[in-house]
Amino acid sequence: MALLFAPLTTATMDPIPKEEMGNATSIFNLLRNIGGSMGIAAATNHLERRTQRHINLLGANVNPYNPGTRLMLDQMRSALMARGADPVTATRQAYGAAFDMVQRQAALLSFLETFRALGILFLLVLPLLLLMKRPTRRPDAAPAH
């Protein structure tokens, strides 16, 4: 991502006359910051919505009537009771640990989906590179030594 900004800035600022460069760079930086903020907000929104969706989907299968869940909760409860917890506290902690597992798995799935969505968006925008003009060297610019 960092390697993208220098060529983008060069291509954007190339046609701007020297007298207007200060205003142009200000507007460019403002729009870049606004775009970055909107992108972060959209990605965070996507991540949170997908996390909630996966918590609902995964949590629907984690209930006391599911034999696999029942076995896992009983094992957790027994382990917690072996460490000195009373039965009520051990049961609450087992349910809490099961919900924590669901949340972690939902977050992992959400990060994967958000990363995939951003990758697809990047690939869709990639052909726009072909529309960019190659910067021209200005005759008034002194060569860098």
Instruction: Give one DSSP letter per residue of 12-45, joined into a string.
Output: HHTTS-GGGHHHHHHHHHHHHHHHHHHHHHHHHH
Phi, psi of 30 (to 5 degrees): -60, -50
pLDDT tens digits for 57-105? 999 988 888 999 999 999 999 999 999 999 999 999 999 999 999 999 9
6-10, 33-37, 70-74, 134-138, range with the lowest pLDDT: 134-138
Contact 9, 32 (CB under 8 A): no
Its pTM stands at 0.75
Contact (CB, 8 A) for 66 and 102? no
Question: Comparing C-alpha atoms, which of 3, 2, 123, 27 is closest to residue 12?
Answer: 27
d(CA 99, CA 91): 12
Over residues 126-144, the pLDDT tens digits come to 898 888 777 776 655 555 5
